[in-house]
């Protein structure tokens, strides 16, 4: 049952009976100033946008809009110096979304599409606060409605909160304007063993299958790329030394072909899987999974051929098992053998 709101019902644009400013003209003024963005519009430009109306009509429209809750920026610029109007806040009846609201929506969509986890949401609080300070009441109502009707599932939530100081040091080392700096890490492995090492950061990676964010870095001691789960980095310190990587090729391959955090220095290999069933073929065609060089093509009897590349068997195994008996690996043979052994071990647990 819908909850009754105690707020006053928002009114549509009100004409000024004393000055004959019509609602359509008020809306036109708002849209013209909004579309002008930070550049703003002069009074003469506004009059021209309104079809050559009188300047006094523009004055009346601006004054009436301000009475109804709008707020305009009025900065002088140019030669001769003229007032340029910008829209800082629209009245509550305005049905349009401000540029700041559109920006915040884009950021929210990127976060939802790129991570599907709550891990990064906490890191966006500062941006949320900044965007919220520029939103009109109408925009805030839109966000509240979206928040109540958006649900994200399919990833995994990193239950360990990220240390802001640690993350700051990682970003300082990674984003140095003269190239990445060396980074000293205190790291706890999945086994619980804690080590200290110095690495050269390369990129942050995250996909739905990994269930968390990782730092991909070059380990000079082992001369190989390594993945470090951000939530397991106990402490980090950006050093002054520039990070040296003998060959970025292995790092780029690890970044491009990792699946769920798994990668190997071996050359990428092509995986082909026939997927049937009632729902999987259409679901894969509608939304192909974000896998390296993925392709989905129709096959006989309503099935599809799912093709992608990887460098390690563990990542593809995790993905293919979700299809159950509806999937058959066609190649490579090594993955067929690996899956057969995995399924045999699984079946033994249910005897």
* DSSP letters for 115-146: T-SSTTGGGGHHHHHHHHTT--HHHHHHHHHH
pLDDT tens digit string along 288-327?
988 999 999 999 889 999 999 999 999 999 999 999 999 9
Residue (of 159, 156, 136) closest to 65 by Cα position: 136
pLDDT for the residue 211: 63
| DSSP-assigned letters across all residues of 233-253 | EEEEEEEEEEP--S-SHHHHH
Give backbone dihedrals phi and psi of 298, rounded to 5 degrees, phi first: -70, 145
- Looking at the domain that runs over 164-257, which CATH code has it been given? 2.30.30
49 vs 7: which has the higher pLDDT: 49
Q: Assign residue 211 a region (left: φ > 0; alpha: ψ between -120 and 50; beta: otherwise).
A: left
* Cα-Cα end-to-end distance for the chain: 49
Residue 343 to residue 320: CA distance in whole angstroms: 12
Sign of CA dihedral 295, 298, 302, 303: negative
pLDDT tens digit string along 227-255?
998 889 999 999 999 999 999 999 999 99
pLDDT for the residue 17: 41
- Looking at the domain that runs over 23-89, which CATH code has it been given? 1.10.10.10
pLDDT for the residue 1: 38
3-class DSSP assignment, residue 206: strand
Residue 117 to residue 126: CA distance in whole angstroms: 18
- Looking at the domain that runs over 269-348, which CATH code has it been given? 3.30.70
Residue (of 277, 330, 271) closest to 302 by Cα position: 277
pLDDT for the residue 5: 38
Question: What's the mean per-residue pLDDT of the chain?
Answer: 80
Tell whether the model's pLDDT for residue 58 goes beyond 50.
yes
pLDDT for the residue 108: 54
CATH 3.30.70, the chain: domain bounds: 269-348
pLDDT for the residue 53: 83
CATH 1.10.10.10, the chain: domain bounds: 23-89
Report residue 4's pLDDT band, with 50, 70 and 90 as the boundaries.
very low
Report residue 68's pLDDT band, with 50, 70 and 90 as the boundaries.
confident
Tell me the whole-structure pTM to 2 decimals: 0.59
CATH 2.30.30, the chain: domain bounds: 164-257
Q: Which of 22-26, 139-143, 183-187, 288-292 has the lowest mean pLDDT?
A: 139-143
């Amino acid at each position: 049952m819908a909850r009754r709101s105690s707020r006053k019902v928002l009114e549509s644009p009100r004409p000024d009976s004393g000055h004959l400013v019509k609602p359509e003209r008020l809306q036109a003024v708002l849209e013209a100033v909004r579309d002008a963005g930070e550049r703003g519009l002069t009074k003469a430009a506004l009059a021209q946008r309104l079809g050559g109306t009188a300047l006094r009509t523009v004055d009346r429209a601006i004054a009436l809009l301000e009475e109804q809750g709008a707020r305009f920026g009025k900065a002088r610029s140019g030669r001769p110096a003229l007032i340029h109007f910008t829209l800082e806040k629209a009245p509550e009846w305005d049905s349009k979304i401000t540029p700041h609201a559109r920006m915040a929506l884009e950021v929210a969509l990127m976060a939802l599409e790129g991570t599907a986890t709550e891990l990064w949401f906490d890191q966006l609080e500062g941006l949320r606060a900044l965007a919220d300070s520029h939103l009109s009441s109408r925009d805030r109502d839109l966000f509240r409605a979206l928040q109540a009707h958006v649900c994200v599932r399919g990833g995994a939530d990193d239950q360990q909160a990220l240390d802001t100081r640690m993350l700051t040091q990682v970003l300082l080392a990674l984003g140095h304007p003269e190239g990445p700096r060396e980074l000293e890490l205190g790291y706890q492995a999945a086994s619980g063993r804690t080590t200290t090492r110095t690495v050269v950061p390369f990129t942050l990676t995250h996909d739905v299958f990994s269930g968390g964010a990782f730092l991909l870095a070059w380990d000079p001691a082992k001369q190989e790329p390594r993945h470090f789960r951000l939530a397991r980095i106990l402490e980090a310190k950006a050093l002054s030394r520039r990070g040296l990587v003998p060959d970025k090729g292995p790092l780029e391959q690890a970044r491009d072909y990792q699946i769920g955090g798994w990668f190997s220095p071996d050359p990428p290999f092509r995986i082909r899987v026939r997927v049937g069933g009632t729902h999987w073929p259409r679901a894969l065609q509608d939304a192909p999974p974000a896998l390296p060089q993925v392709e989905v093509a129709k096959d006989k009897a309503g099935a599809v051929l799912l093709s992608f590349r990887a460098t390690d068997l563990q990542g593809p195994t995790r993905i293919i098992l979700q299809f159950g008996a509806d999937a058959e690996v066609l190649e490579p043979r090594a993955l067929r053998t690996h899956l057969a052994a995995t399924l045999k071990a699984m079946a033994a647990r249910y005897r």
